[in-house]
Structure 1
Amino acid sequence: MRHSVDSITTQIRPGTSRRREVVHFAPQQINAARDAERTRIGRELHDVLGAHLTALRLTLELVRRQAPNGNSALSSALESLEHGLADTQSAVSTLAHDLHPPELSHGLSMALRAWVRQFERRTGLSCAWECDDTAAFDALAPASAAALFRITQEALNNAAKHARATQLRVTLAARRQSVTLTVADNGSGIPAGARRKSTSLGLKGMHERCVSLNGTFRIENVQPCGTAVRVTLPRRAGSATLS
C-alpha cells in the first residue's frame, strides 16, 4: 500500500511541477508577444503612416505654389491644413518612438534617459534622472530591459494624468544580485483601495511583468506627499522552460 502511495505521489509531482512552469512561463510569453507587437506597430507608424503624411505635406506645398494669388480664403485653408498636418506628424512620431524606442537597442540607460527628456518636453513636468551603474543596466537581458522601460513609461504617464504632480524622479540602482527601478512623484498619491485592486492605472500590467521575471513590485504613498513605484529584478532573471 505504501509503495502505491509513493508511486502515485511520484506521478503527481512531475505534473504539478510542469503546471507551475506553464503558469510561470505564460506571462513571459504574453509580455514578449505584446512587446513584439508594439515594435511592429511602432515601425509601421514610422515607415508607412509617416511616408503617407510626408506625401500629403509635399502635395500641400505643390497646391500652395499653384494656387492663385489674392485668394485669402484658400491661403487660410491651406495654412490651416499645413499646421494640422505638422501636428499630426509630430504626434505620430512621438507615438512611434514610445512604441519602439530605437535607443533601447543601445542599452536601457540611454533609452530611459532619452524617454524621460522627451516626457519632460511633452508634459512640461520636471523629471530628475539618476542611474548609479549604467553598465549593469545595459547588460540586462532584453526581457528585463523591456520590462523596466515599459514600467517607467506607464508610471510616468500615470503620474502626469492622475497624480497632479509637478516633480518626478526616475532612479536606477544596481546591487550585486539585483537592480531596482524607482519612479517617484510629489502628487496626490494613490488611494489604498486602488492599490489593493491592482487593476487601476495599469498596476496589474506592471505587477505581471515583474512576477514573470521573478521580481518584486511595490507601490506606496510617500511623505509628505506623492507616490513611489519600486521594481526589483534579479540581474540574471530566471525563466521557466518547457521540455
Structure 2
Amino acid sequence: MTAAQFPRRRTPVPHANGASRRPDLDTLTGLRTGKPSFYPEYRVNAERLRRVIVALDRISAALVRTMEGSEALVRAVANAAADHLSSDWIIFALVTGELPDARPRHVVLGPDAVEWVNLALVPEKVRRHVQAVHDGVPAESAHGHDHDEGRRHLHVPIRLNGRTVGGFVAWTPPDRDIDDTDHSVLRILAGQTASALQNCALLDRAERLHARTAKQAEDLRSRNDELMATQQALGAARQREVLDNERHRIARELHDSVTQYALSAGMHIELCRTEAAGWEGSDTVVGHLDTAKDLTRRAVEQLRSAIYALNDDDHGDKDLPSMLRRLSTVHMPDELRVEVKIGGTPVALPPDHEQSLFRIAGEALFNTAMHASASRAMVRLAYHDDHVRLSVSDDGGANPEEIRRTLRAAQVGGPSGEHRGLVNMDARSREMSGSLRFRRSRIGGLQVLVDVPLGSSNGVRTSEEVR
C-alpha cells in the first residue's frame, strides 16, 4: 500500500470547552481519504463546499450592513442564517445587558423567513429558547439536539471577548438535516456577527461624539460671535463716550468764550450805533453798524445752535433723517423756512458717514442763513440702490460758479481761515468716497449736492474734481 492510500492524520484542535475538535477549514473543505468510495464522497463534499461558498457570500453581504446600524445588521445576519439552513424557525437573540446599544434584542424568523414580532403567537419551544438566550442560560453544545427532532435543531452561542453575548437557534424541516458544515458556517456567522455588532456600537458612539463635538463647536462659534459683538459694542460705546466728552468740552469753550465775545461785540456795536445816531451825516455809519449788529446776532444764534447740538446726548443714537429734521427746527432764523424731504427706503449708513452728511447739511444751511439772503431752503435726502444723495437748495442769490471759484481759492490759498466751511464740506465728502457739487437749484438759488456710494470705504478719493 502506498503512502497516498493511508488516510492523513489530523492534529486535534483544542475546543473552547476542553474537547478536541477538527478545524473548521477541514470540516468545510477537506477530504482526506484513500477509500474506494472516494468519488461519491467527493461529490458530497463538492456540494457541501458549494453550499459553504454560497453561505459565506451571504454572510459577507450581511456583515457589510454595519454602516447601516445594528438593526439592519441583525436582520441581515438572521436572514443569511435562515437562507443557508432553509430553516422552519430561526432565532437571533442577545443576552440582557450585553451589547446594550444593539437593536433589536431578538429576531424570530418563521417559515419562508417571515419575521414574527409578537412572541405570543410563536410556538412555545421557540418562545422558550428566546427567553433562555435573553437570560444568559448556558447554550447547548455544538452537537446538542432535541431528542425528538434528531439533527434538525441547532444552537450556536455568540461569543465576544470570551463571554457569551447572544446566540442563534435554528430548526430545519424534516428533509433538511444539520451537519457539521452547517454548524461551522453558523459558528463563523456568530463570531463575525459579534465583531460587527461591536463595530456598530463603536460607530454609533463615534457618530454621537462627532455630533456632540460639532454642537459644541457651533456653540463656541456662536459664543465667539457674541463676544466679538460685545467687544465691538464696548468699543463703540467707548468711542461715543470719548466723542461725547469732546463735544461737551467744545460746547463749554464756545459758550464760555466765543459766544461771550460775540455778545460783547454786539453790545459795543449797539453802543456805537447809539452814539453815532446824533452825528451829522452818520446815516452811512449807522447802516453799517446795523448790518454788523445783525451779523453778530446771527452768529450768536448759530453758536447757540452748535452748543445745543454738541450738548445733545441723544445725537449719536438717532438716524440721519431724524437728525436732519431736527436740524431744520433748531435755532434757524425766523425769516428762513426750511423743509426736509426723505426719498427711497432708508438704510443704515456707517455712523461716521451719517455724522459727515449731517455736518455738511448743517454747514450748507448756515451759509444759506448767513450769506444767501434766502427765505426758503429745502433739504432732501434720497436713498438709491447704489448711493445716497444729499442736497440743500435755497432761493437766495448765490452763484454756483462763484462758489466753485471760492472753494478752489480756499483750497490753495493757505491757512487764512476764510471759507473753511466750504473746504470742510469738500473734505468730508472725499472721506466718504463721495462727490461735492454746486449748481443752480430749481427754486432759483444755489444747490449743494453730495453723492455717497453705498458700501464704500472711508478711503479718500485721489482724483475727483469739484464741479
TM-score (norm 2): 0.32
In the alignment, structure 1 residue 131 sits paired with structure 2 residue 350: no
- 5 Å-filtered alignment, 1:175-190, equals 175-190=384-399
Superposed counterparts of 1:228-243, under 5 Å: 228-240=447-459
What SS is found at the alignment partner of 2:449? strand
Residue 315 of structure 2 aligns to which amino acid in structure 1?
Answer: E
> What is the identity, as a one-letter code, of the residue corresponding to 1:44?
R
- Of the structure 1 ranges 227-236 and 39-48, higher mean CA displacement relative to structure 2 is found in 39-48
Residue pairs, 1:167-178, within 5 angstroms: 167-178=376-387
Conserved? CA contact 1:125–1:167, under 8 Å = yes
Cα RMSD over matched residues? 3.4
**1:209-220 correspondence to structure 2 within 5 Å:** 209-220=428-439
- Equivalent of 2:330 in 118, 142, 148: 118
Q: Give, in angstroms, the shift of residue 235 of structure 1.
A: 1.8
Is 2:261 the counterpart of 1:42?
Answer: no
Does 182-191 or 40-49 show the bigger shift?
40-49
Which has the higher Rg, Structure 1 or Structure 2?
A: 2
Partner Cα distance (1:95, 1:178) in 2: 28
Match of 1:154 among 363, 380, 387: 363
Out of 426, 442, 450, the residue aligned to residue 207 of structure 1 is: 426
Unpaired segments ≥5 residues, structure 2: 1-239, 256-300, 411-418, 461-467
Please say if residues 38 and 99 of structure 1, whose CA atoms lie closer than 8 Å, have aligned partners that are also in contact: no
CA contact (8 A) 2:400 2:446 kept: no
In the superposition, relative to structure 1, how do residues 212 and 227 fare at CA in structure 2: closer, same or farther (>3 Å)? same
State the identity %: 26
Deviations 1:35-62 (A, max 9, x none): 9997544323668999xxxxxxxxxxxx
**What amino acid is the match of 1:207?**
D
- CA change 1:94–1:205 in 2 (3 A) is closer
Contact 2:302 2:331 in 1 (8 A): no
The structural deviation recorded for 1:144 is 0.8
Q: Residues 47, 37 of structure 1: CA spacing in aligned structure 2 closer, same or farther, 3 A cutoff?
A: same
User: Could you tell me whether the CA contact under 8 Å between 1:189 and 1:227 is conserved in 2?
Assistant: yes
- Cα distance between partner residues in 1 of 2:242 and 2:400: 32
Return the offset for 1:116. Answer: 0.8
Q: Distance in 2 between matches of 1:154 and 1:92?
A: 12
Counterpart amino acid of 2:322?
M
Change (3 A) 1:93 1:202: closer
Cα shift at 1:224: 6.3
- What is the alpha-carbon distance in structure 2 between the residues aligned to residue 49 and residue 160 of structure 1? 20
Please state how far the C-alpha of 1:211 moved relative to its aligned partner: 1.0
Cα distance in 2 for partners of 1:47, 1:194 equals 32
Query: Where does residue 86 of structure 1 map in the other structure?
Result: none
Deviation at 1:201, TM superposition (A): 6.4
Name 2:317's counterpart in structure 1. 105
Structure 2 CA distance for partners of 1:231 and 1:106, relative to 1, 3 Å: same
How many Å separate the matches in 2 of 1:117 and 1:203?
A: 23
Distance 2:392 2:363 in 1: 10
Secondary structure of 1:118 counterpart: coil
Q: How far is 1:183 from its partner?
A: 0.2
What's 1:10 paired with? none
Specify which structure has the higher proportion of helix: 1
- Secondary structure at the aligned position of 1:135 is classed as coil
